[in-house]
A and B are shown apart, each in its own frame.
Chain A
Amino acid sequence: MANQLDSELMIPNEEIGNTLDESVFATLLRDLKRIGTKLKQVLIFRGDKDNLRDWDLWGPLFLCLLLSVILSHGAPENQSSLVFALIFFIIWIGSGIVTINALLLGGNISFFQTVCVLGYCIFPLNIASIISLIFNNIVVKFIFAGIGFIWSIISSISFISPFIPTNKKVLAIYPVFLFFLSLSSIILTL
């Protein structure tokens, strides 16, 4: 009886297997692979509910730090640390506000899921900021920041909107729009 219960409680997961025996490198590689699949989903605008459910904050933290480092590198010398802090502040507080708004509108979603999704959806803006750092031209910056802005908005809508009631989707999306607009405006000026 006890054996039967144990076998029921043990979830057979062939992908992961026993994580205690494996090396640290294998664990890191698996996490990186998971982050990679989520980034791919962001780029092809395909929100998958099952993949959203196992949220992680490593990917958003990595992307947030990357964007902060890039933009603070492009800032004037006396301001670089403050720009770093600003980007960090906007990403975490802003995604928190967007999530609280979605919860108040009656969205059936957990807090860290939405924070995770918004963190991954910064990825197009990351690419835009790298390109605008290489080509220091205002026209190129404008074009690529605009493309990244639209891209991240569409992918975040495709992830979040299945969880919001149908009549309130516009209301939930408007703060997302403001969030990415503030980030891409900082890319433009630096």
Chain B
Amino acid sequence: MTTNQNDNENDNDVEWFNAPVNHQHLEQSNQNQNQNQNQNYPQNPELSNFSNEMNEKTDSNSSFVSMFRTTKIKLNEYRDINKVKPLFDINNPKEVLERLVESINPFRFINNKNIKIESFDLYGPVMIVFTLAMLLLFAMKLTFNKNELEFFVLGKAISISFTYWIIFSVIVNFLAFGVTLKFTTIMSITGYSIFGYCLTLAISLVNNSFGFLSAIIFGGLSTAKIFLTLFFLSNQKEKIVAPAGICSLIHFIFIFYLKFAFIKK
């Protein structure tokens, strides 16, 4: 009953968006859909493991309007709390710990090339981002400027960490050619990669002389992890190198911004 209602709503949304759109856009998007459906790489046996993760990331490259339409339909799916629950469903706390270690361990890809994307969660990323906000808050408290208002210190910490997470995952979602993952899975990958930032900030809060070194080490490790993840998940290896390089460059630069802007001695 509820699914029928949702379908009807989605249909209404589609009709509402179709009205101002040219027919050319629709044709293009349909063509792209067909192409992507043909390209759903069943020929590669290594990549067949995460066929469950595939979704209809179809017309994201066609035009802005259709992109907006698909995102609106996808957001409507998450209106119900029971549909968000599987993203936070973790049976064992050790899973989170393993994924945290995985996020700064790029060597697994080099040693064994059998990639297997496990079911990802959003619990870890949300808590990592809150932890990053707390660490930024402590960093700003230690160099507390009496002219700076307490309220805006907290606001700055929370907004920087959350906007970085969301904007970075949007960038990765658009630039990752040939990677057919759900947006929530990409948010999970980028969120776990922020764990390297947390380690760096914690180390440089304790002892700032190791700060630069730890920024290079942990930032570099999580950057390499992101690059290799995007590279091995893509089915268009020639196209993915430059966009994945841009993503990992953004990720590597941001740790130095955080370190030099917030931790002063």
User: Which A residues touch B92, using CB under 8 A?
Assistant: 167
Total interface residues in chain B, CB < 8 Å? 26
Is A32 interfacial (CB 8 A cutoff)?
no
One digit per residue, 1 when the CB lies within 8 angstroms of any chain A CB and 0 when it does not, for chain B 98-139 equals: 000000000000000000000000010011001100100110
User: Which B residues touch A78, using CB under 8 A?
Assistant: 149
User: Which A residues touch B131, using CB under 8 A?
Assistant: 178
Is B237 interfacial (CB 8 A cutoff)?
no
Contact A175 B149 (CB under 8 A): no
B88 vs chain A, min Cβ distance (A): 4
One digit per residue, 1 when the CB lies within 8 angstroms of any chain B CB and 0 when it does not, for chain A 64-76 equals: 0000000000011
Q: Of the candidates A103, A167, A171, A182, which one forms a contact with B137 in the assembled complex, judged by CB atoms under 8 Å apart?
A: A182
Contact B123 A105 (CB under 8 A): yes
Contact A185 B149 (CB under 8 A): no
Q: How far is the CA of A132 from the CA of B123 in the complex (A)?
A: 35
Contact A168 B90 (CB under 8 A): yes
Of A7-15, A49-57, A79-87, the one contacting chain B is A79-87
Most buried by A among B96, B123, B127, B146: B123
Contact (A189, B141) CB under 8 Å given A83-B150, A83-B151: yes
Q: How far is the CA of A168 from the CA of B150 in the complex (A)?
A: 34
Taking CB atoms and an 8 Å cut-off, the chain A residues in 138-190 that contact chain B are: 167-168, 170-171, 174-175, 178, 181-182, 185-186, 189
A118 vs chain B, min Cβ distance (A): 16
Is B249 interfacial (CB 8 A cutoff)?
no
B233 vs chain A, min Cβ distance (A): 27
Q: How far is the CA of A83 from the CA of B150 in the complex (A)?
A: 7
Is B84 interfacial (CB 8 A cutoff)?
yes
Q: Of the candidates B91, B138, B141, which one forms a contact with A167 in the assembled complex, judged by CB atoms under 8 Å apart?
A: B91
A137 vs chain B, min Cβ distance (A): 18
Contact A167 B88 (CB under 8 A): no
Q: Of the candidates B84, B127, B146, which one forms a contact with A174 in the assembled complex, judged by CB atoms under 8 Å apart?
A: B127
Is B77 interfacial (CB 8 A cutoff)?
no
Contact A175 B93 (CB under 8 A): no
Is A24 interfacial (CB 8 A cutoff)?
no
Contact A182 B134 (CB under 8 A): yes
B163 vs chain A, min Cβ distance (A): 17
Contact B89 A167 (CB under 8 A): no
Is B1 interfacial (CB 8 A cutoff)?
no
Is B156 interfacial (CB 8 A cutoff)?
no
B47 vs chain A, min Cβ distance (A): 31
Is A36 interfacial (CB 8 A cutoff)?
no
Is B85 interfacial (CB 8 A cutoff)?
yes
Q: How far is the CA of A83 from the CA of B90 in the complex (A)?
A: 37
User: Which A residues touch B144, using CB under 8 A?
Assistant: 189
B251 vs chain A, min Cβ distance (A): 24
Contact B141 A171 (CB under 8 A): no
Contact A171 B96 (CB under 8 A): yes
Q: How far is the CA of A161 from the CA of B236 in the complex (A)?
A: 48
Contact (A104, B150) CB under 8 Å given A175-B130, A178-B131, A189-B141: no
Q: How far is the CA of A146 from the CA of B239 in the complex (A)?
A: 54
Q: How far is the CA of A174 from the CA of B22 in the complex (A)?
A: 50
Is B75 interfacial (CB 8 A cutoff)?
no
Contact (A186, B150) CB under 8 Å given A105-B88, A106-B89: yes
Taking CB atoms and an 8 Å cut-off, the chain B residues in 141-171 that contact chain A are: 141, 144, 146, 149-151, 154
23 example contacts (A-B, Cβ-Cβ < 8 A) are as follows A75-B150, A78-B149, A79-B150, A79-B151, A82-B149, A82-B150, A82-B151, A86-B151, A101-B126, A103-B81, A104-B123, A105-B123, A106-B85, A168-B90, A168-B93, A175-B130, A178-B134, A182-B134, A182-B137, A182-B154, A185-B137, A186-B150, A189-B150
Q: Which residues of B contact A (CB under 8 A)?
A: 81, 84-85, 87-93, 96, 123, 126-127, 130-131, 134, 137-138, 141, 144, 146, 149-151, 154
| Nearest 3 CB-CB pairings of A with B | A104-B88, A82-B151, A170-B93
Give 12 new A-B contacts, CB below 8 A, not counting A86-B154, A101-B88. Answer: A76-B146, A82-B150, A85-B151, A101-B126, A106-B85, A170-B93, A171-B123, A178-B127, A178-B131, A185-B137, A185-B141, A189-B141
